Amino acid sequence: MSKKSWWIRKKRKVFREKTPLGQLPILDINEGETVITQSGAIARFLANKYGLTYVDFFVADFLHSLQKLEPKIFTEHYAILIDYVNRVYGLPKIKEHIKNRKEQIP
């Protein structure tokens, strides 16, 4: 059994308790008080709570992905786009969530 398979089997019970349908990703608010599944629902929740639009998430994630593929292009030609990504990911609550989020499936 691979390490990944073992990890998934080990954590499956925890995920099943939080999401009976087994949907990922999970946003766990206040240690299980509220659990939101599916990326679209999570994005809508965060957008409504913090005054963001879905476009902010989409653009920041898209640019972040592009930056990983070809970082030199961004650092040399499109630094303003890196600033945009950093602004979205640097919002206090999002930054705190990313820093403190629990284990994720690899």
pTM of the model: 0.43
Q: Whole domain around residue 23: which residue ranges?
A: 9-50
Number of domains in the chain: 1
CB atoms within 10 A of CB 85: 18
Q: Is residue 25 one of the residues assigned to a domain?
A: yes
Q: Is residue 95 one of the residues assigned to a domain?
A: no
Q: Is residue 79 one of the residues assigned to a domain?
A: no
Q: Is residue 24 one of the residues assigned to a domain?
A: yes
| pLDDT tens digits in sequence order for the chain, 106 residues long | 566 666 667 777 776 776 767 777 888 887 767 888 888 888 888 888 888 777 787 888 788 787 778 777 777 777 787 788 788 888 888 888 878 877 665 5
Q: Is residue 38 one of the residues assigned to a domain?
A: yes
Q: Is residue 35 one of the residues assigned to a domain?
A: yes
Q: Is residue 16 one of the residues assigned to a domain?
A: yes
Give whole-number Cα distances, 96 to 6, 35, 90, in Å: 29, 18, 9
Q: Is residue 55 one of the residues assigned to a domain?
A: no
